[in-house]
Chains A and B, each alone.
Chain A
């Protein structure tokens, strides 16, 4: 299954296609001499704007590896790279109408979404956790019983929170915030006792809070770790094969681990935060066996 894209990529590299033979995204890139990356404003450390308003992050670095592979494949050393800021609400239309070619951020890869778009190899795995003020002494999911808990509207996290609430009969009042920043603000202002979200997003909010020592992650996850992927158009086999090859080459090389360490284990711009998040077991596995599988079970050894 996983070999298919690699074999396709190998065939393509063996016999570089002429522009006329190209289809889909590669043809568009060849004709316009431009590739456009969809980037996020504040998805730290995956894709966000630094103090120069320049998009930076772990997913951006990975996307530039795909860009390098496109340059080689199309023999376009001067390929122009444009970035377009996208939101979770407009990334699909912008991808569908050809405004962006890759979405470089922290988008969860799941079965339902694969009916609409494709994802390249998983670049991160994250589980649903909660953050609370240390002073409230909340550590387990049980301890949230009877409290008000917030999550982001439309996220898989809020679904998992609702499920835990129903199956364990916790009597939690669930609030739906418009976005992550607002959900965290609700915990900050005591509107909610805890915020349920992907662990890495919570870690970045804690690190950038006014007083990081006032917050702590719970000890218990709501789910298995789910994969993040870089998004591209569905049914574009040559472009996906190229992106898969570029990312799996990166993850299997020492450079992949260096890029990981650069964003998760060292101070990052603009404020020099250090997320101090070494690779989890699942991540080590995802790097060693690059895959676009949306099933969280497939990343558990």
Chain B
């Protein structure tokens, strides 16, 4: 940077921008960011539920005896894990509807919250592949004797997973699962490319209207930092709550 282009000359800081009325006419610039934050949280929460439910199912399938189930699970994982999230959201939003019969396509395209629904499902499926890998690693990390012991007790496969394997597997993978939760929150920002008005999109809109780019993105950065810190602390608390005394912390 040039000596004579001091910060004061080049950029006009205005932290008061957040309290000014936005040209959208329904509140201040701060309100714009708060709305975006709400959309980010809702999208992340619903996508995380999908990721956990689908990811757990696929993760379990991957550890089942036999060949078909693990093969299907691996196919799901590789499909969703190996394609950039951006590409997946584009495919879901712009290409997928046209593969359906026309009446369905029209119905789908005219959903009022199409970009929100697409983002929740798209990000949920993408993250489910990552959760599935964690779940199956967690199950595989358990001593083989646990499964054998469950079988010896006469538990069915479903009971073995429900009462023996999964409770321990989930505890083992809680820390990496926390990272995946944080990734889910951050990945919602990709949904701005399909028109979702989440936090990053709203920060961009603030800078387009006011040209106060650094203020807008500083606020967005602090908001992401705050939600991720809260999520991390909540996960730590959960970890200590559900810890089995004497297990794991060898």
Q: B-contacting residues of A (Cβ < 8 Å)?
A: 23-24, 27-28, 31-32, 88-90, 92-93, 95-98, 112-113, 115-117, 148, 150, 153-156, 159, 162-163, 173, 175-178, 182, 185-186, 189-191, 233-236
* Given known A-B contacts A98-B10, A153-B204, A191-B109, A159 and B4 have beta carbons under 8 A apart: no
| Contact (Cβ within 8 A) B4 A92 | no
A153 CB to nearest chain B CB (Å) = 5
> Is A154 touching B205 in the complex (CB atoms < 8 A)?
yes
- Is chain B's interface secondary structure helix, strand, loop, or mixed overall? helix
Question: Which residue of chain B has its CB nearest to the CB of A185?
Answer: B94
Cβ-defined contact, B11 with A88, below 8 A: no
Whether a CB of chain A sits under 8 angstroms from the CB of B212 is yes
Residues of B within 8 A of A24 (CB): 4-5, 9
Residue among A24, A28, A154 having the largest count of chain B Cβ atoms under 10 Å: A154
User: Do B209 and A112 touch (CB < 8 A)?
Assistant: yes
What's the minimum C-beta distance from A38 to chain B, rounded to whole angstroms? 14
Bin chain B's interface residue count.
Answer: 35 or more
1/0 per residue, CB under 8 A from A, across B39-77: the answer is 000000000000000000000000000000000000000
Residues of A within 8 A of B213 (CB): 89-90, 92-93
Chain B residues with Cβ below 8 Å from A236 are 9
* Among all A-B residue pairs, the 4 with the closest Cβ atoms: A154-B208, A96-B11, A154-B205, A116-B211
Is the C-beta of B201 less than 8 angstroms from some C-beta in chain A? yes
Given A93-B214, A96-B11, A98-B10, A182 and B195 contact (CB-CB distance below 8 Å): yes
Q: Which chain A positions have C-beta within 8 A of B193?
A: 178, 182
Q: Which residue of A lies closest to B4 (CB)?
A: A27
Find B195's partner among A93, A115, A116, A177 (CB 8 Å cutoff): A177
Q: Which one of B110-118, B138-146, B154-162, B172-180 is at the interface?
A: B110-118
Q: What is the CB-to-nearest-CB distance from A200 to chain B, in angstroms, rounded to a whole number?
A: 18
Chain B residues with Cβ below 8 Å from A162 are 24-25
Q: Convert B1-44 into 0s and 1s, putting 1 for each residue whose CB lies closer than 8 angstroms to a CB of A.
A: 11011010111101000000001110000000000000000000
CB distance from B246 to the nearest CB of A (A): 52
- CB distance A153 to B201 under 8 Å? yes
For residue B127, give the distance in angstroms from its CB to the closest CB of chain A: 22
A selection of 28 A-B contacts at a CB cut-off of 8 Å is: A88-B208, A89-B204, A92-B207, A96-B7, A96-B10, A97-B5, A97-B11, A98-B1, A112-B23, A112-B209, A113-B210, A113-B211, A115-B12, A116-B212, A153-B204, A159-B23, A162-B24, A163-B25, A176-B195, A176-B197, A176-B205, A177-B195, A178-B194, A182-B193, A185-B94, A189-B97, A190-B106, A191-B93
